[in-house]
A and B are shown apart, each in its own frame.
Chain A
């Protein structure tokens, strides 16, 4: 009985995680330029992975410690990776979308 309930809670979290992955993918297709796409994919995959890990944790209680460590690493590294990629793309010359309203980064860096 208890185990079944935990299974259902786990499934709920896994399903929520998959939904966030889906939104991230839709964002990846619909967003106009690299930077907006990075935003859509980074945020949604991070929460998607977290939700997935929590869900698996409810299904397999013994793995909870491992999953928490994995979650910590994901939360610490995913945004750093996204920032590094976006910065590298900018410095390599990937342009902002033509309807972007402001670019303070470019203004300060014209050398």
Chain B
């Protein structure tokens, strides 16, 4: 499933990030060439040191269906993030501090480490929940307002539509 990316892929990704950080539309062409040259040197050096530590997903993840699911995931994620912040603002500003914290356990059907990482990140940034740890197919979630202690019910509330969308991306 997930393999090691080749040295070349890492170097290209590094170069793209480098150019994104240094490029500006008003720079003269000679300066762009200088940045590009320096970028190639740095990218090759860094990927020579670190390319074996990255996880590669392979080019098949650029299939249009997967990309469409990922874009949907991204926008729902943004929406949930704004909701999470308004929710947090409501909690910290209300005089009674309405919290009912606890750590619940949920199940996930996702297999790939990258998918789990994205799900964990999404959970951490969405309303009232924070991923603590994974153990096999179980995730432990700290929840500010525990609504259910049941594994399945809590999972449905916490994961929302994220898991479905990520399954579309990764399977």
Contacts and interface: CB of A to CB of B under 8 A. Distances in A.
Interface of A: 20, 23-24, 26-27, 30-33, 35-36, 38-40, 42-44, 46-47, 62-63, 65-66, 68-69, 75-76, 78-80, 82-83, 86-87, 90, 96-97, 99-106, 108
9 contacts: A24-B88, A27-B88, A39-B142, A44-B85, A47-B81, A96-B101, A97-B101, A101-B149, A103-B102
Contact of A36 (B17, B99, B117): B99
Contact of A44 (B88, B132, B138): B88
Chain A interface SS verdict (over half): helix
Interface of B: 17, 20-21, 23-26, 81-82, 84-85, 88-89, 91-93, 97, 99-105, 117, 120-121, 124-125, 128-133, 135, 138, 140, 142, 144, 146, 149
Given A27-B91, A27-B92, A105 B103 contact: yes
Contacts of A27: 88, 91-92
B132 A30 contact: no
A97 B146 CA distance: 14
The 3 closest A-B pairs by CB, nearest first: A79-B124, A102-B102, A104-B105
B166 to A, nearest CB: 15
Contacts of A99: 100-101
Given A27-B88, A108-B135, A96 B103 contact: yes
Nearest to A97: B101
A4 B21 CA distance: 26
Given A79-B125, A105-B140, A33 B132 contact: no
Contacts of A33: 101
Nearest to B23: A65
A20 to B, nearest CB: 6
A38 to B, nearest CB: 6
Contacts of A105: 103, 105, 132-133, 140
Given A39-B142, A43-B125, A44-B88, 13 more contacts: A31-B92, A38-B130, A39-B144, A40-B91, A43-B85, A47-B85, A68-B20, A99-B101, A101-B101, A102-B149, A104-B105, A105-B132, A106-B103
